[in-house]
Amino acid sequence: MNKTLELMWKVIVNPVEAFDEIREEKSIYTSLIYLLIYGIVAVAAGHFAGLIAQKTLTTPPNASNLPPNLTPFFKNFDSTLKALTSSSSFFILGLVMPYINVFLTASIYDLLAQFITKKANGRVLFTAFAFASMPILIYKLILLAFAALMSYTIPAWIELIFVIWGIVLYILAIRETYEIDSGTAIGIYFTPIVILIIIVVIYILSLVPFIMNLLKTLPHGAFTP
C-alpha cells in the first residue's frame, strides 16, 4: 500500500522517475491496488453525479417552456437513472471496469509497440498505464468533493485540462517502458486513436443516405411542439 501511494505521488511530481521505477521493478501488485482505489473513487463520483442529475431532471431548466408530453419522459428517465446509480451492478461494474480497461488498452499498445520497437513489455505497460490515469483520478476526486459537499458539478472544460495531462503521462509511460524517443512514443500513442477516428467517420458517412431517406418520410412539422 505504501509503495502504491509513493508511486501515485511520484507520477504527479516526477513521472519519468516513476515510470523508470515501474520498468525496473516490474511489479504489478501496486497497479492492482491503485486500480481498486480508482474504481472506488469512480463509483462514488458517479453515484453523487447521478444524484445531481436526478435533481436537474426533476426540475429541468425552462421547464415551463417544455412541451407537456416531455414531462413524463423526464420523470421516467429520473427513475431509471436513480435505479441505475444505486444498483449493485453499477458498483460492481465500476470496480471491475478499470482493470478491464487498462488490460485491453495496454494489450493493444503493447502489440503495436512490439511491431514498431521489437520489444514486448506488456506487464510493465499495464502498471505504467494504470498510474498514467492519475490525472483522471484527481479529477474524479475533485468532482466527488464538489458533488458530495456542494451538490455542484464542475465545468467540462476543467476536465479537458486533466485529460491533456493524462495524455502526456500515457506518452511518457510508453516512452519509458520501451526506452524509445518521444517522437516514436507519440506516434505509438496516437496511431490507434487516428485509426478509430477514421473508422467512425467512415461509419457515420455510410449512415448519411439512410438518415436522409428516413427524414424524408417524416410528416411536415413533426418536431414542432
Sorting pLDDT into bands at 50, 70 and 90, what band is 7? very high
Nearest to 19 by CA among 187, 188, 182, 169: 169
Domain that holds residue 73: 2-186
In a domain, 225, yes or no: no
Is the model's pLDDT at 108 over the cut of 70?
A: yes
pLDDT at 222: 45
The pLDDT tens digits of the residues spanning 180-201 come to: 999 999 999 999 999 999 999 9
In a domain, 208, yes or no: no
Kindly report each contact of residues 143-149 with a partner whose C-beta sits within 8 Å and lies 24 or more positions away, as own/partner: 143/45, 143/49, 144/41, 144/44, 144/45, 144/48, 147/45, 147/48, 147/49, 147/51, 147/52, 148/44, 148/48
- Which pTM was predicted? 0.81
In a domain, 212, yes or no: no
Q: Beta-carbon neighbour count of residue 38 at 10 Å?
A: 26
In a domain, 109, yes or no: yes
The pLDDT of 76-98, averaged and rounded, is 74
In a domain, 206, yes or no: no
Rounded to whole angstroms, the Cα distance separating 207 from 74 reads 29
In a domain, 72, yes or no: yes
CA 120 and chain centroid, separation:
26
* Total number of domains constituting the chain: 1
The pLDDT tens digits of the residues spanning 169-180 come to: 999 999 999 999
Rounded percentage of the chain residues whose pLDDT exceeds 70: 75
Sorting pLDDT into bands at 50, 70 and 90, what band is 220? low
pLDDT at 59: 56
In a domain, 211, yes or no: no
The answer to whether the beta carbons of residues 166 and 136 sit under 8 Å apart is yes
pLDDT at 146: 80
CA 163 and chain centroid, separation:
9
